Each structure stands twice: as C-alpha cells, then as structure tokens.
Amino acid sequence: MMLVDIFKEFINVVQENKKYTIGLLNEEGIVVSCSREKFVGECFNVDSSDINNVFYAIKIKRESYGYIWVRGEDENLKMISSLLLDSLTTRLMYEINNSSLKQKVTKDDELIKFLLNEEQFDLNNILDLINRLGIDENKTRAAIYIINQKGHNLEEIMRLKLRADSKQMIYSLLNKRSLLLFKDMPSGLDNTEAKRFFKKYIRSLQDWGLQGCYYIVGSAQDKLKQYSVSYKNCLWLEKNINYEVDEPIFFTDYLFEYFVSKIHLDDVRNIFDFYNDRGKGIDIDEFTNIANKLLINDYNITQTADDLFLHKNTLIYKLKKYEQIFNIDIRGDFKGKFLMVLIANTLREYQRQKQVGEKI
C-alpha cells in the first residue's frame, strides 16, 4: 500500500474533530495529502513550527517518510500532534512489516518452485534466492507437508516469517490446503532423534496456530537437488498411508512399504515361489514386522530389539533362524538384508491372497 493511501485511510479514522487540519508532507515540505484538499501542493518550512502549526518528521527504522503537519487553534496542539504521529507511525510500521513479509514469502515461493523443478534445476537462481533470504545452503533439511482440508489461513502462513527460527525454514503454500515446508535439522541425528526433533517442531507450529492439520514428514536430504525427493516421499505417504489430524507421520517409518511398493510381485513370482515354500510354518506377521523395523533402524540390532520389545539375544536367535530357513545372510550382507525385505513382502502378499481366496 502506498504511503499516500495509508495516510488517507489514517485521516478517515482519526479526524472525527474537524478543527484540526492534518497533512502529509514529502521531504521537500510539499503537501502530498491533506484533510483539506486546498493545501495539497503547497510548500511549508518544516522547521517553522508555531502555536498553530506543528511539524514532525516521520521516521521508521531510521528511514524517513516525510513529515506530518497538524494545524489548529488549541493549547494542546503539540500533544495532539505527538499522539497523531505515534498513531500514524504504528500504522505505517504494520503496513511496512506486512509488505516485507509478503516479499519474503514470495521469494520463498519462487525458491521452492526452483527446488521442485527437477528437469530444469537452476542452481544459480536457487543460490541467489538463498543468499537474499539469508538461508544456509549447507544445512540438512526434510520436507514437512502440512494439509488443512478446510484451507490454510493466509495470514497465519505469512506470520511464519515472524518466528524466531524463520531463517531455518523455506516454505510455500502450494494451494489453499497444502503447505510445503523444508525445515533445517541438526546433522548426525539417528532416526529416533530426528523424529523427536520434528515432533517438537511440529508442536511449536501447532502452538503458533497451525492446528487441525495433517503433518507428513519426508526423508532428510543434505543436497539442494534432493529436496524434491523428500517432497515426493510426502506425496507417497499422503497417497498410501492412513494419517490423523495433528499426528505427524514419518517416511522413515514406512521404508518397508515404500520399497516393496516399487516391486511388482508378478514380475518376480517364479523366483520367490521357492522362498514361499521354505517359509511355510513361520509367523509371517512377525517376520514382516522384524524386516520392517530392521530397515527403519538401518539394521541396528540393539535399536530394533528395543522397538520390538525383545531382548537383543532373542532377536539374534530369530534372525539366525530366518538365515537358516531362507539360506541368506541377514546380519552381514546387504543383499541378504534387502532380500529379507522382499521375501517378507512376498510371503505377506501370498498370505493376503490366500485369505481372500485368490488363485496363487
């Protein structure tokens, strides 16, 4: 909003008492707007305040916005003029801050548009925007996809730039119901620590006003070109996983489902029929659960045992049993680890087909 427009609105609000003339002067002392149109264009010496005319400089954050001029026959004219100056300054500060927020949000929108453009990834423009926004390009970040079925409040979204940690996030309102936010995170966090970090951050967003939303957290990425991968993780979760209002879900909790969703069972059925025969008699639900937890915890036996509420030795015993049954090396060989995931998915799918009476 232009300064003159703001001043005109200001006059309409404050000039209930017509005995005062209120004008806005530019740096040269020329009246550019006034409660009495006849004075517009006249020039005054702003250093010549007297009993009936008071001039005050309008300064906000060390920037000059001209002068306010108040004329009237009142012994309290100076005090009234000071109050009017304070009121106008407050109004201007609000508009200036609001305009600044819009500019920053617009830059964020532009940056995210570049980050998500995988086919024409423009690193130079991205780095320029990052520099102008004061963002650290080297931070590890994860996407947080925030969905509000009723539609996000635009003012709440803009106010995110007022947060103390505003330089630790990049965000854009993709449409009225979907907000995409890339959040800085400390490096070196394991999966449990990362989830704890993001849960705390999401609670702070809810306290800020973003309540009644679905929160979906993608994978951590430390390269700008990979941010779109984290966003795609969120889209996959949105499409494939059930979620609840104000309860965040994490891509790392569904790595098993994600990987196996990329494999068509019919393409590998003949290969895995052998493992289906070998796996008869085992608890398929338990086997699948163990495979999933191992994948999530990067095959850390201790952490996986804790998540499964098992003693570490009990888990090792079960893994040895699976290794013998399927003749694979789960604990030492990457191929064996991944093969376990595929076998578990195959057995679970065979089990599902059998339960619903499909022909295997």
Domains of the chain: 3-97 (3.30.450), 116-250 (3.30.70), 263-356 (no CATH)
pLDDT in tens, 272-298: 777 888 888 899 999 999 988 888 887
- Distance, CA of 199 to CA of 249 (rounded, Å): 9
**Alpha-carbon torsion, ordered 50, 51, 53, 58, to 10 deg:** 70
pLDDT tens by residue, 67-81: 999 998 888 888 888
Q: What pLDDT, on the 0 to 100 scale, is given for residue 262? A: 74
Query: pLDDT value at position 13?
Result: 67
| Weakly modelled stretches of the chain, pLDDT under 50 | 1, 360
Predicted pLDDT of residue 269: 64
Tens digit of pLDDT for each residue in 169-187?
989 888 888 999 999 999 8
How far apart are the C-alpha atoms of 345 and 352, rounded to whole Å?
10
pLDDT in tens, 199-209: 999 999 999 88
Q: Is residue 148 within a helix (H) or strand (E), and if so which, with residue range?
A: none
Among candidate residues 79, 13, 38, the one with its CA nearest the CA of residue 23: 38
Give the full edge-to-edge strand order of the sheet including 249-250: 169-175, 178-185, 140-147, 214-221, 249-250
Which of 76, 56, 72 lies closest to 64 in space, CA to CA? 56
* Spatial CB neighbours of 56, under 8 Å, sequence gap ≥ 6: 67, 68, 81, 82, 85
pTM tops 0.75: no
